């Protein structure tokens, strides 16, 4: 198990240590689970109040934290980020042994960088090239002509179909399918005639794709997931979709074909994005939203149909009151008819 | 093929036989498909009316069934349960041959109980322990340090990542991924810095997990599926979620991270449950519901936003009438303005 | 690379060539990517306007296109269909080498037609029969007794559980699970007792099933996907569902158990269809719709709850105006109460 002085750890995670820098830190944990050899963090008012009572070896706090504590503190501009860095130190990612398993099936003309790890029961097609330190876990199937960049990790039973390209330092979680045919048919009488999907999927650097995603190959050209994109589990990305840098796609989202997602967009869980539209940079789409029209840069929209998020919150408060509202209208109608009746009667009375 | 006297079968399924107990029963089938050697059941008014016309070898009926029939009857407190037991007798679960296939890839220090069945092209990591009579179908990948209890069945191409624990008599259907990384990132400027997911997934006894589920490992500690939980296909369960005993999670439900689901809860198909909330024991969440706040014990909620189910049904009846309601409001406004106009005019007329 | 004279290509795709039939065509591409050796198509007013400026080797246009062009034209009743045919010529589907890989695991009594291709790390159970030219990609697991018709393609890591039947010329995309147990339980006190799922899945001819679908085996009999059905990715089909000929099921749709879908139906993305209902022939169900009641032949419905699509569009326009509508009602109430107050006062005034 790793062991490090608080001074050294502070340097590693980019924080300023206040207290005993010689304290030995042996792990990182959540606030309430932190013992004397543990570093933890506090960045909300609620938790910061309790820092003074912490028995942790060190607590990472915001620069402007003014409280006192018996424990060591590490001041940071981004306590949560500093803590995540500490976690990487104490919990380095699992790395299987390097080498190519004799129980893997390797196609012709395989090019592999240094220190790759190809697990048992991996199947690699012809003319595949993988970079240095690439890890391919058991059961993954890599199609002919696929190219995978340095330091990328492919988890068990992932399928990457022929010709697709994966960048460097990317992670593809278990069971995900990259490069299956896009859903394209043209009517032929009552039947549907298949449109060949001639393109590929290109995934750039520092991308993380969740488990059991499906990312379809393009009809022409490429379906393109740009650098820094992170998808959660069970996401579906249709053919010719482009997702811009550093966008987040939460679980069970579906993006229909030919849609463009900008940079640093967030698509919340179970949202559905129609085909052939554009979601602007920094837009946020709410959970379960059904988005059928393009969304401008920086917009926050929710609901089905999509609308500004603040409006959606108001609509959400009114929805459960619709039965009451209907009754109020009925009451108004009774009053109005009564009043109109009187008005109607008036001429007769004259 | 199994063959059993009605008397013996009645004992086995916990029912009281009325008629010829020596009748040989050879299979179990739905009411309309039941022949002279078949046991079936009737538990709805509609079907019970037709029992007298049945040609089945025996019909399982409720204790209070007062009708007469030419066929044999089996009285039961729970006809459907008794019938399910009969199905288990006539259709015992498929069991592949025991033994460890020479075409499986087995890691170091593998501990296996008696009569296990490890299929071809299974990959088992180091330090894995599986109980008696465990079945692991072809293509499954079991990570290092995984522990699997007695009588559990792992279907083809399931992936269980390092360190996860599965209880006894559980069933994991094909293609499901257990223990992939939770979706956790912390902003680092424009990019997203990965939070290591240091925990595991723990699945207890008598759990059934559908096909192509994703159950993420915890950031710290465990994502925990307790005894008797049954999930349908394509369910997503985020990191640190806890699901209580005997809850049902229907197809395509998504549960975001750190949410707690109580005991004996039902989450209907395609529902989305937000993160960091609590769903109380025995609650029922309707199909496609979008639940963003905690739900108390025993509540039945539906819709987006979630609301009491009875209220949701009313809202559902009003929704398609919104255009009509809007017109009624416009009419009221015309009337009101006219009336206000008259009132406004009146002073002049005076 | 394929090369063909325009005259021959016109014959192949069923179009009438106008221009130089000796032009050699070497590929097919989208309108804006078409060069002098490329065939493309135009079938919308917007693109047809630009045909005269095209540098393509040939442009497929509708029969009634009256514009002139310097490039060659191919007149067709269905330009898009003709173009898809051209794509098939220039981009024939990838075919791996024929033969049975020595690294596949083949059960007893395997019957295979001519020119099959069984990849490495495929696992085939006992008593499996596959037709001529069947392709099974690496990592697929085919259960005991499964039957697969001529020319069907099974992509990597597909799982087909025991006893299921797949027709001819069908395509099953990667990671899909066919024949896992339906979700059937009967209450047994607080717990849920499993109902054995004794049936199979039957998939007929010319079906295409997307990646990571789950199609459950029937409780009794069969779950049945009829000829010409095309499903997109991540579709869930419950036990005993029947889908009629040539229906389209878009990504992330869920169909609950025992529901019948007619012929030539379209279920748009993320729609949820309740169990035990009927969707009539040629019906269209909108995206994210929640359908809880049967839908008649030819109906177009959307929304949750489902309603006629045109009505849904109106409701969608009103939903974001609910806060405004609520205010209008409040104003009416103020006016009505004022007016009623006056009326109430009037008698006193008399």
Q: What would the pLDDT profile of B155-195 be if each residue is shown by its tens digit?
A: 999 999 999 999 999 999 999 999 999 999 999 999 999 99
Compare CB distances from C173 to A180, A256, A332 and report the shortest one's residue: A180
List helix spans (H) across C56-179: 79-90
Least confident of B266-280, C82-96, C121-135: C82-96
Residue A13, token pair as written in the block: 């995670």
Compare CB distances from B236 to A234, A322, A329 and report the shortest one's residue: A234
For A91-135, write each residue's pLDDT tens digit. 998 789 999 999 999 999 999 999 999 999 999 999 999 999 999
Angstrom CA distances, C40 to A85, B30, C10, C109, stand at: 53, 55, 12, 49
Name the residue with higher pLDDT: C342 or A184: A184
Compare CB distances from C336 to A194, A270, A332 and report the shortest one's residue: A332
pLDDT of residue A273: 98
- Residue of C164, C231, C272 best to disrupt the B interface, most CBs of B under 10 A: C272
**Spatial CA neighbour of C140 closest among C109, C113, C163, C117:** C117
- Residue of B159, B263, B288 best to disrupt the C interface, most CBs of C under 10 A: B288
User: Can you tell me the mean pLDDT for B79-107?
Assistant: 95
Dist. CA C157–CA C147, nearest whole Å? 17
- Give ipTM to 2 decimals: 0.95
Indicate the domain borders of chain B: 4-90, 99-310
Give bridge partners of residue B272 from the DSSP assignment: B254, B290
* A161 neighbourhood in chain C, CB within 8 Å: 155-156, 174
- How crowded is residue A99: how many other Cβ atoms within 10 Å of its Cβ? 12
Least confident of A333-337, C6-10, C223-227: A333-337
**Spatial CA neighbour of A67 closest among A45, A44, A49:** A49
Active site residues of C: 239
Arch. (CATH architecture) of C4-90: 3-Layer(aba) Sandwich (3.40)
CATH 2.30.140.10 holds for C99-310: no
For B239-250, write each residue's pLDDT tens digit. 999 999 999 999
| Residues 6 or more apart in contact with residue C160 via CB below 8 angstroms | C140, C141, C142, C143, C146, C148, C154, C166, C172, C178, C179
Q: What is the DSSP string of A240-297?
A: T-EE-TT-EE-TT-EE-TT-EE-TT-EE-TT-EE-TT-EE-TT-EE-TT-EE-S-B-T
Three-state SS at C129: strand
pLDDT of residue A95: 86
User: For chain A, how long is the longest CA-to-CA vector?
Assistant: 106
* B171 neighbourhood in chain C, CB within 8 Å: 181
* A335 neighbourhood in chain C, CB within 8 Å: 336, 339-340
* A140 neighbourhood in chain B, CB within 8 Å: none
Alpha carbon C307 to its chain's center: 22
For A20-50, write each residue's pLDDT tens digit. 999 999 999 999 999 999 999 999 999 999 9
Angstrom CA distances, C39 to A220, B200, C8, stand at: 14, 55, 13
Residue C129 confidence class, pLDDT cut points 50, 70, 90: very high
pLDDT, chain C, mean: 95
Query: Which of B78, B192, B236, B239 is an active site residue?
Result: B239
User: Can you tell me the mean pLDDT for B262-269?
Assistant: 98
* Count of CB pairs separated by less than 8 Å, A with B: 183
Smallest CA–CA distance from A84 into chain B, residue: B195
Smallest CA–CA distance from A312 into chain C, residue: C320
End-to-end Cα distance, chain A: 100
For C319-344, write each residue's pLDDT tens digit. 999 999 999 999 999 988 887 776 66
For B323-350, write each residue's pLDDT tens digit. 999 999 999 999 888 887 766 665 544 3
pLDDT of residue C343: 61
List helix spans (H) across C72-163: 79-90
Long-range contacts of B132-138 (CB under 8 A, 24+ apart): B135/B95, B135/B96, B137/B96, B137/B174, B137/C141, B138/C105, B138/C123, B138/C141
pLDDT of residue C305: 87
Q: Is there a contact between C315 and B316 if contact means CB atoms under 8 Å apart?
A: no
**Chains contacting C with at least 3 CB pairs below 8 Å?**
A, B
pLDDT score of C350 more than 70: no
To the nearest whole Å, the CA of C147 is away from the closest chain A CA by 24
Contact yes or no for B234/B212 (Cβ under 8 A): yes
pLDDT score of C347 more than 70: no
* C272 neighbourhood in chain B, CB within 8 Å: 252, 269-270, 287-288
For A112-121, write each residue's pLDDT tens digit. 999 999 999 9
* C311 neighbourhood in chain B, CB within 8 Å: 320, 323
Measured in degrees and rounded to the nearest 5, phi and psi for residue B69 equal -155, 150
To the nearest whole Å, the CA of C342 is away from the closest chain B CA by 10
For A237-281, write each residue's pLDDT tens digit. 999 999 999 999 999 999 999 999 999 999 999 999 999 999 999
Q: Is there a contact between A91 and B196 if contact means CB atoms under 8 Å apart?
A: yes
Q: How many residues does chain A have?
A: 350
**Spatial CA neighbour of A9 closest among A79, A111, A83, A63:** A83
Active site residues of A: 239
């Amino acid at each position: 198990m790793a062991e490090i002085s608080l001074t050294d750890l502070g340097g590693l995670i980019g924080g300023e240590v206040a207290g005993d820098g010689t304290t030995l830190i042996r792990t990182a944990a959540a606030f309430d689970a932190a013992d004397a050899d543990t570093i933890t963090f506090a960045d909300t008012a609620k938790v910061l109040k309790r820092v003074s009572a912490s028995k942790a070896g060190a607590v990472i706090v915001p620069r402007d934290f003014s409280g006192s504590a018996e424990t060591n503190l590490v001041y940071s501009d981004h306590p949560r980020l500093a803590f995540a860095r500490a976690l990487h130190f104490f919990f380095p990612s699992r790395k299987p042994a390097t080498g190519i398993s004799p129980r893997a099936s390797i196609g012709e003309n395989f090019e592999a960088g240094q220190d790759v790890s190809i697990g048992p029961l991996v199947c690699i097609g012809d003319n595949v090239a993988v970079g240095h330190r690439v890890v391919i876990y058991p059961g993954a199937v890599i199609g002919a002509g696929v190219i995978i960049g340095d330091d990328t990790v492919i988890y068990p039973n992932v399928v990457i179909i022929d010709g697709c390209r994966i960048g460097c330092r990317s992670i593809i979680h278990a069971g995900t399918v990259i490069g299956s045919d896009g859903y394209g048919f043209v009517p032929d009488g009552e039947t549907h005639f298949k449109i060949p999907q001639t393109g590929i999927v290109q995934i750039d650097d520092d991308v993380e794709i969740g488990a059991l995603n499906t990312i379809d190959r393009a009809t022409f050209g490429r379906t393109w997931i740009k650098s820094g994109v992170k998808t959660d589990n069970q996401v579906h990305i249709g053919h010719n979709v482009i997702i811009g840098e550093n966008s987040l796609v939460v679980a069970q989202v579906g993006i229909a074909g030919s849609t463009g997602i900008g940079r640093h967009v967030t698509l919340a869980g179970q949202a559905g994005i129609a085909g052939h539209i554009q979601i602007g940079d920094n837009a946020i789409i709410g959970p379960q939203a059904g988005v059928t029209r393009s969304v401008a840069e920086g917009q926050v929209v929710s609901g089905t149909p999509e609308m500004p998020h603040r409006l959606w919150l108001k609509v959400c408060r009114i929805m459960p009151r619709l039965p009451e509202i209907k009754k109020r209208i009925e009451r108004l109608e009774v009053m109005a008819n009564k009043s109109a009746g009187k008005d109607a009667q008036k001429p007769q009375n004259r």
